[in-house]
Amino acid sequence: MKHEKIEDLFLKSLEENISDAERKELSGAMEADEQLAKDMSGYLIMREEVRRKRPATFGPYFASRVVAKIQNMKVEIDKQIMFFFRRYQLAALGVLVALLTINIVFSDQLNLPSVLGLNDDNTADEELVSFDFYNHFNE
């Protein structure tokens, strides 16, 4: 139990300031028990070993690979957008053909401008003839 308490105190001392009383308790316990002191110094050795590391790298040309991936990703997104709209292309074409067909069926004249709705509008203000309902129905 005491070993565990001292162990906790020792690990705490490695991370933060401990009080004078705690420091005294820790050093007293370690002076009194050689094995305990050895155990605690084991933590220091372990931390030193864990900290000692090889320089880390993702290998040569890593930055170039990242930039290439980002650029490819943009192309991929563009493709996805194209694919998204492609799904609606057939439906849009169908609607267009249907509208043209309706226009052809119901048009008075069968020429290209009228079918495509490109005829001049003959209802300009100056061409409108006034219509007098009163006179018309009383004639």
Partner 1 sequence: MEVSDEVLVQRSRQGDAQAFKELVNRHEGKVAGVVQSMLGDTQETQDVGQEVFVRFYQALDQFKGQSAVSTYLIRIAINLSLNELKRRKKRNMLFAKEEEGVNTSSPDSKNDLKEVIVYELNRLDPDFQSVVTLRLIEGYSTVETAEILGIPLGTVLSRLSRAQKKLKSVLAKHMDL
78 belongs to the binding site for partner 1 (CB under 8 A): no
Size of the site for partner 1 (CB under 8 A): 33
Biggest CA-to-CA distance, the chain: 132
Contact 115, 100 (CB under 8 A): yes
Which pair of tokens denotes residue 133?
A: 């309902």
69 belongs to the binding site for partner 1 (CB under 8 A): yes
Q: Which of 17, 32, 55, 80 binds partner 1 (CB under 8 A)?
A: 55
57 belongs to the binding site for partner 1 (CB under 8 A): yes
Interface residues with partner 1 (CB under 8 A) are: 7-8, 11-12, 15-16, 39, 42-43, 45-47, 49-59, 62-67, 69-71, 73
